[in-house]
Amino acid sequence: MHLKKVCLQADVYMVCLQHALSTENFEVMGLLIGDNAEGVTTISAAIILRRSDKKKDRVEISPDQLLKATNEAERLTEELHKRVRVVGWYHSHPHITVCPSHVDVGTQAMYQIMDSSFVGLIFSVFSEDKGSKEQEVSLTCFQSDDGKSKEIPLVIKPTKDISTNCLKTMTELPKILAQEEEEMAEGTRNHPDLLVSIHNNAVQTRALGHVTDIITRPLVQTFYGRYESNLTKIDYLHKQIQHLERELQNQ
Ligand SMILES: [Zn+2]
């Protein structure tokens, strides 16, 4: 069926954006989970994919990753009591425009052979507005149409809270990034030259420090802030209950 619109839940948007902003050196990507009804796709979860190849403009999803995502969608179907499946993919464009490249359109076309409503999201990050020098984030939603990219209307749907699943995905990000660094360092370990070895270890330590600095620490701070604000809310609601009970007694 012809895809008319895509609704992206705000908490999923947050997960994707957090992932896209985690590095400006290469493109990151993931898969989107949701459901499709009457030409409208609703995205309710995201899966962060680990990169095995850190070359620029190289975003590929291995069959193994796709299989894992399908299993995750099945698990979510049970957890949410709602039929969900893999409905699309997202990737980042650091320092470049949001427009899908030829490779992107080709990859997208390949997915559409399997599922005609499959959709692609691109987050352009770390781009500077020439006038104001402020950093901009742009987001586009596209499909392939006869070898060309076609924009699909996208709506970010507000959610009352961050779903447990999205929270889990957000806390998994630093772990995935640390694993990527670990894998990268694997091939360079035990170099016979002592100086090279020290250098390689230092590079890895710096990368891990970077993950802690830009992901883990802000995440802990954000969650702590939410926890504090929830405590204030609980306190307020308790007082409301007491107040209402008193009113009831006085009647
Ligand atoms: Zn791209």
Q: ∠ CA(92), CA(83), CA(142), 5° rounding?
A: 30
What are the Cα distances from residue 4, in Å, to 158, 173, 195? 20, 31, 58
Cα–Cα dist 184/153, whole Å: 38
Between the CA of 101 and the centroid of ligand 1 the distance, in Å, is: 5
Block means of pLDDT (10 residues each) for the chain, 251 residues, are 91 95 89 94 92 62 85 90 93 93 92 92 90 88 94 95 90 91 82 89 92 92 93 97 94 83
What one-character DSSP code corresponds to residue 51?
Answer: P
Between the CA of 57 and the centroid of ligand 1 the distance, in Å, is: 6
Between the CA of 113 and the centroid of ligand 1 the distance, in Å, is: 19
Q: Which two tokens stand for residue 69?
A: 């995502």
Between the CA of 136 and the centroid of ligand 1 the distance, in Å, is: 17
> So what's the pLDDT on residue 112?
93
* pTM, two decimal places: 0.85
> So what's the pLDDT on residue 154?
97
Residue 5 β-bridge partners: 40
Between the CA of 120 and the centroid of ligand 1 the distance, in Å, is: 10
Between the CA of 10 and the centroid of ligand 1 the distance, in Å, is: 22
Question: What value does the CA radius of gyration of the chain take, rounded to a whole number of Å?
Answer: 22
CA atoms within 13 A on the CB side of 210: 15
Between the CA of 91 and the centroid of ligand 1 the distance, in Å, is: 7
Between the CA of 96 and the centroid of ligand 1 the distance, in Å, is: 9
> So what's the pLDDT on residue 187?
77
Contact yes or no for 100/122 (Cβ under 8 A): yes
Between the CA of 93 and the centroid of ligand 1 the distance, in Å, is: 6
Between the CA of 109 and the centroid of ligand 1 the distance, in Å, is: 13
Between the CA of 104 and the centroid of ligand 1 the distance, in Å, is: 5
Instruction: Classify the phi-psi angles of 74: left when phi > 0, otherwise alpha if psi is within -120 to 50, otherwise beta.
Output: alpha
Contact yes or no for 45/51 (Cβ under 8 A): no
Q: Annotate 8-45 with DSSP letters as a single string.
A: EEHHHHHHHHHHHTT-SSS--EEEEEEEEETTEEEEEE
> So what's the pLDDT on residue 53?
61
Between the CA of 61 and the centroid of ligand 1 the distance, in Å, is: 13
Between the CA of 84 and the centroid of ligand 1 the distance, in Å, is: 25
- The edge-to-edge listing of strands for the beta sheet with 85-94 is 148-151, 135-145, 119-128, 85-94, 29-37, 40-48, 5-9, 154-157
**For the domain 5-157, what is the CATH code?**
3.40.140.10
Secondary structure (3-state) at 243: helix
> So what's the pLDDT on residue 59?
62
Cα–Cα dist 125/172, whole Å: 21
> So what's the pLDDT on residue 175?
92
> So what's the pLDDT on residue 251?
83
> So what's the pLDDT on residue 26?
85
Between the CA of 200 and the centroid of ligand 1 the distance, in Å, is: 30
> So what's the pLDDT on residue 216?
93
Between the CA of 123 and the centroid of ligand 1 the distance, in Å, is: 9
Between the CA of 20 and the centroid of ligand 1 the distance, in Å, is: 12
